């Protein structure tokens, strides 16, 4: 590069680098703190104030208490069910819609697209949706978490754009060989659009994993609670009592604190572990979405 | 004569509609598999999106669960009148708008600024590392994020300890009504700044590099290049996202506020959507809260149309 750096530019680049490092610290440190605190000795962490750079003392009782808690285990199991089942429904429905709407020369496709886009700008709102789910008899059943959000219109549009990019000639030659739309969709279009489909799986699955609001609205039966709703009780409403019944009264308060940290780690671990591998897909998805404006 | 003329016109339109119908019929027969594939998708949209729109009529009815949507008696605008006359009406409006305006002023530009700063980093390893780390909080559930906030910002928590080291009095951040908006918006920035910057970085990478070469020959430094090439190049993306933001303004994050607020902070934290949740879902006052929700949706709709037309007029960028 023939451009010589001026003094101002050098100062800027130093400040910029420092700012970026600060951003990384501010982003990562809270997680490290929680990790160290969860591994610490409950009595010590209860007295400890300040920044942690390693666990104070070492104690796995909190993890044991969390793993022994039936609500955490049910929550985990339920969440896995909602993630797998919900994502499967999402993917199936979105693929159907994206395939049908990506076909050319289908008379009603434009009107149906319009009908879908309208729902992105205007919706009935919380109460009518709640009453609808209620009147369909889905209240307090897993269906309430799986069906009302079966398709994200935004994802449908992204997938449709990707399907449209598959060369028409492939489809035509399959048709000459006698393939119908179902075969063309499942054997040609979907396999050729795997990158987009991978992104969709990730987005939908992370959405199901993290969601708590629909469960809060639609579920009363604690046996059906997803992990996030259990977490809400432990972290926000601050009720760790159910997990500390065995401990003595003074220990109970102390271990309650480490239990909170251990719960955060256990519930975030799957995403933290997968994150480095999935990161490029996450980004890829935003970029596909950005192309279509 | 006029009669004859009308006949001709009639047959012409009949021919046209006939032709149209036969065309449609042919289309349905030819594309029958596609329509079959569409069937569940259509059913989904009709039931779960248009169904609630139909249900919105309870905003104008004295809704009773036993009567159902159809049989409940009409009461006109009574629910709206009682909402507008409600003691909390102005508080809800003020909180909803202020939180959104703060987000627009601070959170919205934050990702743009991060993208611009990232763009200035030359070492690609460092740049990738910063990006990877900054995306991470986007994938942490809101329950965990608010849970960590409650812990770190407690009166005897980590943040107050750090403030104590520089001689400041401890603050109960989560109980202080005056700090709620700050806490809400800044935690939102923490969680979303990196993820939000991706789309702007994509926009920057699409800018023609020869523009920079030309500017450099003209003697433009990095600051001038940013001002006159990078920013204008990002403009379409910025405007589109701004319009989208305007539209979702009033429907702002009830799920995060519900986790964050408590009766002590209602005064500044309670927004229209959390009010709907409390009164409607927890209090079972369906007709009234459906009206509040409808008011919310209509204002959002007006805002998005307004933002779009303003943007069309001043910058020729538009959503539709």
DSSP string, B48-97: IIIHHHHHGGGGGB---TTTHHHHSPB-TTHHHHHHHT-TTHHHHHHHHH
Buried b (16+ CB within 10 A) or exposed e, A172-201: eebeeeebebeebbeebbbebbeebbebbb
Q: What is the pLDDT along chain B (320 residues), one digit of tens a residue?
A: 455 555 555 666 667 778 888 888 888 888 888 999 999 999 999 999 999 999 999 999 888 877 888 888 888 899 999 999 998 999 999 999 899 889 989 999 999 999 999 998 888 899 989 998 998 998 899 999 999 999 889 888 889 888 888 888 888 898 889 999 999 999 999 999 998 898 899 889 888 889 988 998 888 888 888 888 999 989 888 888 888 777 666 666 688 999 998 888 888 999 998 999 999 888 888 999 999 999 988 888 888 888 888 888 877 777 66
| Distance separating alpha carbons of residues B119 and B210, to the nearest angstrom | 16
Higher pLDDT: A251 or A36? It is A36
Closest by CA to A33, choosing from A57, A58, A50, is A50
In angstroms, what CA-CA distances link A225 with A85, A232, B108, B246, B282? 15, 11, 34, 34, 18
Q: pLDDT by residue (tens digit) across A160-202?
A: 988 988 888 888 899 898 888 889 999 999 999 888 898 899 8
Minimum-distance CB partner of B141 among A180, A210, A289:
A210
Q: Which of B31, B140, B146 sits opposite A268 (nearest CB)?
A: B140
Tell me the nearest-neighbour CA distance from A182 into chain B, angstroms: 7
Cβ separation B117–A99 shorter than 8 A = no
Determine whether the interchain pair A131/B161 forms a contact, defined as Cβ–Cβ distance below 8 Å: no
DSSP B283: T
A185 contacts chain B (CB < 8 A): yes
Q: Judge: B41–A100 Cβ closer than 8 Å, yes or no.
A: yes
Q: Residue A74: which of A221, A226, A217 has the closest Cα?
A: A226
Residues with Cβ within 8 Å of B240's Cβ and at least 6 positions away in sequence, in order, are A293, B317, B319
Report the pLDDT value the prediction gives residue B184, as an integer from 0 to 100: 94
Q: Does A111 touch chain B (CB under 8 A)?
A: no
pLDDT of residue B245: 79
Q: Is A283 on the interface with B (CB under 8 A)?
A: yes
B208 burial level (CB within 10 Å; 0-12, 13-18, 19+): exposed
The H or E element spanning position B273 is helix B272-276
Please report which residue ranges of B155-208 form alpha helices under DSSP H: 158-165, 180-205
Distance from CA of B4 to the nearest CA of A (A): 34
pLDDT score of A279: 78
CA distance A253 to B129: 39
Residue numbers in A near B189 (CB within 8 A): none
In this predicted structure, what is the pLDDT of residue A1? 45
Looking at residue B1, its pLDDT comes to 45
| Residue B110, pLDDT score | 95
In this prediction, residue A227 has a pLDDT band, given cuts at 50, 70 and 90, of very high
Strand partners, B78: none
* A residues 48..87 contacting B (CB < 8 A): 49-51
Find, in chain A, the residue whose alpha carbon is nearest to that of B239: A293
Q: Which residues contact residue A204 at a Cβ distance below 8 angstroms, ignoring those fewer than 6 apart?
A: A86, A87, A90, A91, A152, A155
Which of the pair, A213 or A50, is modelled with greater confidence? A213
pLDDT at residue A58 tops 90? no
CB < 8 Å to B259, chain A: 232, 236
Q: Which residues pair with A98 in a beta bridge?
A: none
Greatest alpha-carbon span in chain B: 99
Scanning every residue of chain B, which has its alpha carbon at the shortest distance from the alpha carbon of A102?
B34
Q: Do A122 and B297 touch (CB under 8 A)?
A: yes
3-state SS record for chain A: CCCCCCHHHHHHHHHHHHHHHHHHHHHHHHHHHHHHHHHCCHHHHHHCCCCCCCCCCCCCHHHHHHHHCHHHHHHHHHHHHHHHHHHHHHHHHHHHHHHHHHCCCCCCHHHHHHHHHHHHHCCCCHHHHHHHHHHCCCCCCCHHHHCCCCCCHHHHHHHHHHHHCCCHHHHHHHHHCCCCHHHHHHHHHHHHCHHHHHHHHHHHHHHHHHCCHHHHHHCCCHHHCCHHHHHHHHHHCCCCHHHCCCCCHHHHHHHHHHHHHHHHHHHHHHHHHHHHHHHHHHHHHHHHHHHCC
For residue B27, the number of C-alpha atoms closer than 13 Å in the C-beta half-sphere is 14
Would you state the structure tokens that stand for residue B44, as one six-digit string?
């989904």
Query: Contact B202/A271, CB-based, under 8 Å?
Result: no
pLDDT at A250 (0 to 100): 53
Point out the residue among B28, B141, B297 whose CB comes nearest to the CB of A125: B297
Q: Measured between CB atoms, which of A93, A216, A235 is closest to B41?
A: A93
Q: Give me the residues of B, 225-254, that contact A with CB < 8 A.
A: 236-237, 240, 247, 254
Q: What is the pTM for the complete model shown?
A: 0.87
- State pLDDT tens for residues A229-288: 999 988 887 665 555 554 545 555 566 778 888 889 988 888 888 887 877 777 777 777
Q: What is the pLDDT of residue B241?
A: 84
Q: What is the pLDDT of residue A253?
A: 59
- pLDDT confidence of A2, banded at 50, 70, 90? very low
Q: Which residue has the higher pLDDT, A57 or A102?
A: A102
Q: Is B269 on the interface with A (CB under 8 A)?
A: no
Show the DSSP H helices in B68-179 as ranges. 68-71, 78-84, 89-102, 108-119, 124-135, 142-152, 158-165
The answer to whether B148 faces chain A, any CB pair under 8 Å, is: yes
CA distance A9 to chain B (A): 8
Q: Which residues contact A24 (CB under 8 A, 6 or more apart)?
A: B129, B130, B133, B134
For position A242, what pLDDT does the model report? 53
Instruction: Check CB contact of B43 with chain A, cutoff 8 Å.
Output: no
Kindly report the nearest CA distance between residue A214 and chain B, in angstroms.
Answer: 9
* Interface check A116 vs B, CB under 8 A: yes
Please determine, for the modelled complex, whether the ipTM score is greater than 0.90.
no
Q: What is the pLDDT of residue B292?
A: 92
Q: A124 contacts in B (CB within 8 Å)?
A: 49, 51-56
What separation, in Å, do the N-terminal and C-terminal C-alpha atoms of chain B show? Answer: 47
Residue B220: list chain A partners with CB under 8 A. Answer: none
- The C-alpha atoms of residue A89 and residue A85 are separated, in whole angstroms, by 6
- The chain-wide mean pLDDT, for chain A, equals 85
Residues of A in contact with B134 (CB under 8 A): 23-24, 27
> CA-CA-CA-CA torsion for B92, B94, B97, B101, nearest 10 degrees?
-140
To which H or E segment does residue B309 belong? Answer: helix B286-315
The whole-number pLDDT of residue B52 equals 93
What local confidence, expressed as pLDDT, does residue B6 receive?
56
For residue B37, give both structure tokens: 């594939």
Query: Is some CB atom of chain A closer than 8 A to the CB atom of B55?
Result: yes
SS3 B314: helix
């Amino acid at each position: 590069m023939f451009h010589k750096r001026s003094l101002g530019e050098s100062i800027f680049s130093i400040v910029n680098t420092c700012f970026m490092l600060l951003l990384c610290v501010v982003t990562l440190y809270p997680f490290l703190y929680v990790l160290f605190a969860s591994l610490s000795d409950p009595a010590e962490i209860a007295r400890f104030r300040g920044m942690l750079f390693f666990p104070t003392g070492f104690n796995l009782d909190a993890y044991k208490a969390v793993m022994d808690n039936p609500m955490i285990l049910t929550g985990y199991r339920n969440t896995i069910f909602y993630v797998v089942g919900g994502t499967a429904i999402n993917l199936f429905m979105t693929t159907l819609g994206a395939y049908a709407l990506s076909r050319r020369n289908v008379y009603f496709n434009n009107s149906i697209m319009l009908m879908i886009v309208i729902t992105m700008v205007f919706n009935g709102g919380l109460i009518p949706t709640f009453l609808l789910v209620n009147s369909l008899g889905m209240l307090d059943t897993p269906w309430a978490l799986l069906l009302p959000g079966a398709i994200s219109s935004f994802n449908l549009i992204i997938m449709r754009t990707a399907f449209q990019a598959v060369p028409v000639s492939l489809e035509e030659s399959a048709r000459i060989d006698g393939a119908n739309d179902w075969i063309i969709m499942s054997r040609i279009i979907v396999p050729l659009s795997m990158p987009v489909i991978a992104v969709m799986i990730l987005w939908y699955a992370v959405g199901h994993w993290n969601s708590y609001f629909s469960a809060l609205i639609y579920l009363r039966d604690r046996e059906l609670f997803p992990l996030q709703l259990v977490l809400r009780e432990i972290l926000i409403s601050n009720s760790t009592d159910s997990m500390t019944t065995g401990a003595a009264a003074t220990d109970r308060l102390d271990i309650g604190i480490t239990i909170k940290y251990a719960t955060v780690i256990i519930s975030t671990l799957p995403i933290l572990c997968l994150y480095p591998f999935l990161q490029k897909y996450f980004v890829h998805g935003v970029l596909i979405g950005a192309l279509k404006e | 004569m006029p009669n004859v003329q009308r006949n001709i016109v009639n047959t012409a339109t009949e021919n046209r509609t006939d032709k149209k119908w036969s065309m449609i019929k042919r289309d349905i027969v030819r594309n029958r598999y596609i329509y079959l594939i569409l069937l569940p998708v259509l059913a989904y949209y009709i039931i779960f999106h248009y169904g609630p729109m139909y249900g919105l009529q309870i905003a104008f009815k004295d809704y009773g669960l036993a009567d159902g949507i159809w049989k409940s008696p009409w009461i006109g605008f009574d629910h709206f009148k009682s909402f507008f006359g409600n003691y909390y009406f102005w508080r809800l409006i003020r909180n909803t708008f202020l939180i959104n305006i703060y987000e627009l002023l601070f959170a919205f530009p934050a990702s743009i600024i991060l993208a611009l700063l990232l763009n200035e980093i030359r070492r690609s390893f460092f740049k990738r590392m910063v990006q990877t780390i900054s995306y991470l909080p986007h994938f942490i559930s809101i329950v965990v994020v608010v849970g960590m906030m409650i812990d770190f910002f407690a009166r005897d928590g980590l943040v107050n300890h750090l403030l104590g080291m520089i001689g400041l009095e401890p603050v109960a951040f989560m109980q202080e009504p005056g700090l709620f908006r700050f806490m809400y918006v800044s935690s939102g920035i923490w969680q979303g700044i990196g993820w939000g910057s991706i789309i702007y970085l994509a926009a920057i990478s699409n800018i023609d590099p020869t523009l920079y070469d030309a500017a450099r020959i003209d003697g433009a430094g990095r600051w001038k290049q940013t001002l006159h090439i990078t920013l204008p190049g990002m403009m379409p993306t910025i405007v589109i996202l701004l319009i989208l933001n305007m539209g979702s303004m009033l429907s702002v994050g009830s799920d995060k506020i519900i986790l964050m607020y408590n009766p002590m902070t209602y005064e500044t934290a309670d927004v229209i959507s959390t009010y709907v949740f409390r009164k409607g879902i927890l209090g079972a006052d369906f007709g009234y809260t459906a009206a509040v929700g409808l008011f919310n949706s209509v204002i959002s709709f007006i805002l998005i149309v307004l933002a779009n037309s303003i943007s069309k007029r001043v910058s020729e960028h538009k959503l539709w």
